[in-house]
Amino acid sequence: MSSRENILAAVLKNQPPASPLPDIGFLKGNAVDVVAQYSGVFASIGGNVFLVKDLAAVDALIRENFDATKRIITTLPELGNSFELLSATADPHTFDDVEVAVIEAQLAVAENGAVWLPEQRMGQRIVPYICQHLVVVVAAETIVPTLHEAYGQIGLGQYGFGAFIGGPSKTADIEQALVMGAHGPITMTVLILDQVG
Amino acid sequence: MEKGMKDHAALAEAFINDEERVDWHDGALWWIRQKRDIASKQIPEWEDLRETASRIKNNVLSNLHDYLLQFEANATLNGIKVHWAADAEEHNAIVYSILKDKDIKQMVKSKSMLTEECHLNEYLIERGVDVINSDLGEYIQQLDNEPPSHIVLPCIHKRKEEIGEIFHEHLGTEKGVSDPTTLTRFARRHLRDVFITRRAALTGVNFAVAETGEYVVCTNEGNADMGAHLSEVQIASMGIEKIIPQKAHLGVFLRLLARSATGQPITIYSSHFKKPREGQEMHLILVDLGRSRQLGRVDFRDSLKCIKCGACMNTCPVYRKSGGLSYHNTIAGPIGAILAPNLDMKKHADLPFASTLCGSCSNVCPVKINIHDQLYQWRQVIVREGYAANTKVLGMKAMAWTLSSPTSYSTLGKAGRWVLNNIPFAVNNKFNPWYKQRDMPDGPKESFDVWYAKNNGHDSEKD
């Protein structure tokens, strides 16, 4: 017998009697002021967060906060006149010199500060990891209270890759001292697009 | 214990000799335990979450056969090549054959305790394949030729000055530099070159979803993704117990994992791998390595619910004061001590005894594993099977004989009291293991029997 058959046979023989799946429908968050909660949590995990009115304001904000003489790439067509539109077909290694990447999240989670990025929003899988600084635009109305609502919206998900990203890359491996920018971005900025406000 | 191999107590001895280091290690881990407490208290339904996670895992264990088949079918449909490995040797051979097929001689790895259990690095290095661990803590441990001492914080036992010395020796940083940010930046530049040049990347797996055939990898550093998204061959190694039934269940486990591990609201990166990138190969190896056997051990199968957060280690008074390396097992601490005897009962017979049975581990476990009960149960199995250390067996035999005979109990009690009171140096010496780290008590003046007879008589008079 192959290992596959051996393992499956041993598992079948040794597994305990059926135990039902619990209902998780009762798990949900409180939707009161998710923008404020998100902002507070994201700042507490070392992220920068700004409320912006429109994408024109995004352009200005990036120029103010980052070195625009270096390579800045984006997946947002509205910012295509200001920054390099990223190519979905380029070799991922060619993004090694990206200073800032500007992408848009599908949704964000108030309770933990994470944004959800399926690969279509990343442009290329490597982009949010290889850049020195990550900027994510989030529409205020897409912020949900907890991961339960987030997975409710994502559903089974039409993507080959997707990630929750909650803050700049960090490590505390050297004597528990928190250092931002282990391998991924040194900073992460979330711009909450509040077109109503 | 194998002959000639040091047990937990002997290995811990070197660590506890440096009292200042023990205090520091103890404090560092307790600080993380406190962060976990603060984070858990911010979730009003925390206990409901733990209970739900535990019940989901009960369902997983009772349907593991079907979930494995469902996962395999969906992952294959997604374009992932699924392999099965019964043991470490088979796992390592699969990894090597994938690399050999593509003529790849260098691989970058992100954290995976399973490949540590399999000794994959040594296996590949012997066959001419260079492997670099990219998690900073693991990288430091690899440079220092030591295994990780903690599953989440691999070099928690090292001081920054020691790490500075390792960087100086192996990477050429200036002597005396020990600032964490400076050292981390140096490693960042160095490892970026590694990520950019490696054609193959291997990651561990935190959760694999039967319903969708995708797997989730959680890191704070982003190293798993830097490796995976730049490689042409991506390999994931997972124990068969990492399956969860549905994608929605990730909401339960991801809320618990990072809060229990380090007190963070979520790990910075929770990456969901479903299909290979265009032009990339994606392999996934399902590894048994004793899991199916543990599933059949009724008293111990719950240990397979573990999501490897490390909370039980951070809270354990024995782990905090003896260091992870003293456990001589890939997974240290309380959970390691109930997983290890399943793999090799003789070699790990000492580990279930490295506990105070205080129950703190069970109280912080996010999936409610009854860790301290299982430690107690393993002790009984180990003694019954004849693997307990001779000193323990002889001590217990002597105790059983003494307690079963009132005459011997009385005589030995008298002798003991006399020794403690008249010649204390006979027990206050290094030949008495009980004297280590503690003072022996003064002997009571009279035995309990005498005291009871006296006092009971007194009470009777009053009645």
Q: Are residue B311 and residue B447 in the same domain, yes or no?
A: no
Report the residue from B136, B267, B277 with minimal CB separation from A182.
B136
The secondary structure of chain A, three-state, reads CCHHHHHHHHHHHHCCCCCCCCCCCCCCCCCCCHHHHHHHHHHHCCCEEEEECCHHHHHHHHHHHCCCCCEEEECCHHHCCCCEECCCCCCHHHHCCEEEEEEECCEEECCCCCEEEEHHHHCCCCHHHHCCEEEEEEEHHHEECCHHHHHHHHCCCCCCEEEEECCCCEECCCCCCCEECCCCCCEEEEEEECCCC
Q: A163 at the B interface (CB within 8 A)?
A: yes
**Whole domain around residue B427: which residue ranges?**
403-456
Region B407-421: mean pLDDT is 85
The answer to whether B61 contacts A15, with C-beta atoms less than 8 Å apart, is yes
CA B297 – CA B308 distance, rounded (Å): 20
The length of chain A in residues reads: 197
pTM for the model stands at 0.93
Over 70: is that where the pLDDT of B1 sits? no
Q: Which CATH number is B217's domain given?
A: 3.40.50.10420
- Which range is least confidently modeled, B21-30, B68-77, B415-424? B415-424
The answer to whether A26 contacts chain B (CB < 8 Å) is yes
Comparing CA positions, the residue from B159, B154, B156, B104 lying closest to residue B133 is B154
The whole-number average pLDDT for the span B440-447 is: 83
Please give the structure tokens belonging to residue A102.
């500007």
Same-domain status, B417 and B279? no
The number of CA neighbours under 13 Å toward the Cβ of B421 is 10
CA distance, residue B399 to nearest chain A CA (Å)? 37
Q: How confident is the model at residue B4 (pLDDT cuts 50, 70, 90)?
A: low
Show which of residues 380-419 on chain B sit within 8 Å of chain A, judged by CB atoms: none
A95 closest CA partner among A70, A68, A63, A131:
A131
Shared domain for B284 and B309, answered yes or no, is no
B33 and B48 co-located in one domain: no
DSSP string across B56-116: HHHHHHHTHHHHHHHHHHHHHHTT-EEEEESSHHHHHHHHHHHHHHTT--EEEE---HHHH
Burial class (CB in 10 A: 0-12, 13-18, 19+), B18: exposed
Helix, strand, coil in percent for chain B, rounding step 5: 55, 10, 35
Residues of chain A with C-beta less than 8 angstroms from the C-beta of B45: 27
Lowest pLDDT segment from A116-130, A170-184, B85-99, B430-444:
B430-444
Residue B10 touches partner A, C-beta closer than 8 Å: no
Inter-chain residue contact A169 with B270, CB threshold 8 Å: no
Report how far residue B134's alpha carbon sits from residue B290's, in angstroms, rounded to the nearest whole number: 27
In a domain, B462, yes or no: no
Residue B398 lies in a domain: no
Report the DSSP beta bridge partners of residue B244.
B209
Residue A148, burial from CB neighbour count under 10 angstroms (0-12, 13-18, 19+) = buried
Quick check: A147 and B240 CB within 8 A?
no
Are both B32 and B167 inside the same structural domain? no
Phi and psi at B203, nearest 5°, equal -125, 165
Please report, for the domain that includes residue B334, its CATH number. Answer: 1.10.1060
Q: Is B436 on the interface with A (CB under 8 A)?
A: no
Provide the token pair at A44.
């507490």
Strand, helix or coil for residue B274: coil
Average pLDDT of chain B, as a whole number: 94
Rg (CA), chain B: 26
> Is B395 part of any domain?
no
pLDDT category at A44 given cuts 50, 70, 90 is very high
Contacts of B331 (CB under 8 A, 6+ apart): B113, B117, B151, B308, B339, B340
Burial class (CB in 10 A: 0-12, 13-18, 19+), B44: exposed
Is A115's pLDDT higher than 70?
yes
Assigned domain for B344 exists: yes
Per-residue pLDDT of A65-79, as tens digits, reads 999 999 999 999 999
In chain B, how many domains are there?
3
Q: Is the pLDDT of residue B164 over 70?
A: yes
Interface of B with A in 139-158 (CB under 8 A): 140, 153-156, 158
Terminal Cα distance for chain A, rounded: 65
- Nearest alpha-carbon partner for A173 in B219, B39, B266, B168: B219
Q: What pLDDT is attached to residue B32?
A: 97
Same domain, B141 and B92: yes
First vs last Cα of chain B: how many Å apart?
Answer: 58
Q: Which of B265, B289, B313 is the last residue of a domain?
A: B289
Q: Are both B315 and B280 inside the same structural domain? A: no
* pLDDT of amino acid B445: 83
Residues B229 and B346 occupy one common structural domain? no
- Check CB contact of B182 with chain A, cutoff 8 Å: no
CA gap B244, B59 in Å, rounded = 9
Q: Which of A7, A19, A129 sits opposite B222 (nearest CB)?
A: A129
Residue B209 forms part of a structural domain:
yes
Cα nearest neighbour of A167 on chain B? B268
Measured between CB atoms, does B296 come within 8 Å of chain A? yes
The answer, yes or no, to whether residue A129 has pLDDT greater than 90, is: yes
Tell me whether strands A170-171 and A179-180 are parallel, antiparallel or unpaired: antiparallel
A96 with B196: Cβ contact below 8 A = yes
With 0-12 / 13-18 / 19 or more C-beta atoms within 10 angstroms meaning exposed / middle / buried, residue B51 is: middle
Closest chain A C-alpha to B223 CA, distance in angstroms: 6
Out of B225, B226, B292, the one facing A14 most closely (by C-beta) is B292
Q: What is the DSSP string of B318-348?
A: HHHHH-GGGG-SSS-HHHHHHHHHHH-TTTT
Q: Which domains does chain A possess?
A: 34-193 (3.40.50.10420)
Q: Scanning every residue of chain A, which has its alpha carbon at the shortest distance from the alpha carbon of B167?
A: A174
Q: Is A2 on the interface with B (CB under 8 A)?
A: yes
Identify the band that residue A197 occupies on the pLDDT scale cut at 50, 70 and 90: very low
Q: What percent of chain B has pLDDT over 70?
A: 98
**pLDDT for the residue B389:** 80
Residue B240 to residue A11, Cβ atoms within 8 A: yes
CB spacing of B52 vs A125 below 8 angstroms: no
Question: Does any domain span residue B136?
Answer: yes
- B324 with B413, same domain: the answer is no
Segment B106-114 mean pLDDT: 96
Q: What is the mean pLDDT of chain A?
A: 96
Same domain, B33 and B53: no
> Is the alpha carbon torsion for B399, B405, B408, B411 positive or negative?
positive
Task: Look at residue B218 and tell me if it is in a domain.
Answer: yes
pLDDT in tens, B38-97: 999 999 999 999 999 999 999 999 999 999 999 999 999 999 999 999 999 999 999 999
Q: Are residues B318 and B407 in the same domain?
A: no
* Residue B463, domain member (yes or no): no
**pLDDT digit string (tens) for B312-364?**
999 999 999 999 999 999 999 999 999 999 999 999 999 999 999 999 999 99
Are residues B320 and B265 located together in one domain of the fold?
no
Nearest residue to B78 (alpha-carbon basis) of A178, A185, A156: A156
Gap between the Cα atoms of A35 and A159, Å rounded: 27
Spatial neighbors of A140 by CB under 8 A, at least 6 apart, are A35, A51, A192, A193, A194, A195, A196, A197
Nearest CA in chain B to A164: B270
